[in-house]
Copies of this chain bind each other. A is one copy, B any other.
Amino acid sequence: MSDFKISGVVPPVVVPDTADHQLDVPSFERLINYMIDAGVDGLFFLGSSGEVVFSTDARRDEVLREAVRIVDGRVPVMAGIIDTETERVIEQGKRAEALGVDALVATAPFYAIGGAVEAEEHFRCLHDALSLPIFAYDIPVCVHTKLPWKLLAKLGAEGVLAGVKDSSGDDVSFRYLCQENERLGHPMSILTGHEVVVDGAYLSGADGSVPGLANVEPHGYVRMWKAAQAGDWATAKAEQDRLNDISHIFDVTSGLVGYAGGVGAFKTALMLMGIFDSNTMPRPVKAMEGANVEAVAAVLRANGLL
């Protein structure tokens, strides 16, 4: 069973780009410090919203190197090692380990069609080849495989997995996973990536959250976690409701799908708030412009963030 435990708010860090698609280190530093100062409990780099699949290996190394330097031990650093199949993911993991992160986050294998048999073997291979604690990243919307909760629980009990980062959108499966993890002695740290219903996930027994929206407003997520810890669910719900008002930066724009509208909204908000110098997106995604930027700004203003 893994010794690594993490709980609380662990935002997936959005990555700022310069106009010519280089890593914008000063903006990155401002964002990291903004969230640590707000009291987050960890940071997750190279997640889906952290441009991991858009980044070359050299760029991934640069992101992690700068992240470790800037964080400087203030909170644990989790690193996504996302790639298609086992051998490639192991390579990503070895490079991340060399850069001084604290835990690794890997998805089910993707592109080739497989199932639970391949997913299980994949995580076993990662565990054998790597030294750091491994979190399973359950994100079927990107990898098109749902990790079964019974498999996750088994791998946790055996010490193959240190935890789960759940972005499955399946709150039923999440609840069963939390209950089974508890029954097994709580071997895993279970984090929800579902930023709009974090209060419910905490009530279900989650150990923490990985809310993308915490890039924009970390304070509310920190307060919600403290309220939930104290059993003050009315406050937790009120914080979540307020954060959800801000989350409409996702749905007030038009003509954008998926990453362009989601991470694009984060970057645009951070630019408007002065934390990022630009809202440049990684190729082939276009940055928000014109009326869409205005729409995001209106939501921020209505919620006191501008």
A302 at the interface (CB under 8 A from B): no
A118 at the interface (CB under 8 A from B): yes
From A61-69, A154-162, A215-223, A255-263, the one touching the partner chain is A255-263
Cβ contact of A54, chosen from B55, B86, B284, cutoff 8 A: B86
B257 touches A113 (CB 8 A): yes
Q: How far apart sit A5 and B26, CA to CA, in the bound complex (Å)?
A: 49
Contacts of A194 in B (CB 8 A): 171-172
B86 touches A283 (CB 8 A): yes
CB distance from A146 to the nearest CB of B (A): 12
> Which residues of chain A in 106-141 are interfacial with respect to chain B, using CB atoms and an 8 Å cutoff?
109-115, 117-122, 124-125, 141
A97 at the interface (CB under 8 A from B): no
Cβ contact of A111, chosen from B118, B125, B143, B284, cutoff 8 A: B143
A244 at the interface (CB under 8 A from B): yes
B85 touches A258 (CB 8 A): no
Q: How far apart sit A118 and B245, CA to CA, in the bound complex (Å)?
A: 29
> Which residues of chain A in 166-210 are interfacial with respect to chain B, using CB atoms and an 8 Å cutoff?
169-172, 175-176, 179, 194, 196-197, 199-201, 203-205
27 A–B contact pairs at CB < 8 A?
A48-B111, A54-B112, A55-B87, A55-B88, A86-B282, A112-B258, A112-B259, A112-B285, A113-B258, A113-B259, A118-B260, A119-B284, A121-B284, A124-B284, A125-B283, A169-B169, A169-B171, A171-B194, A172-B196, A172-B197, A175-B196, A176-B244, A179-B244, A203-B203, A203-B233, A204-B237, A231-B234
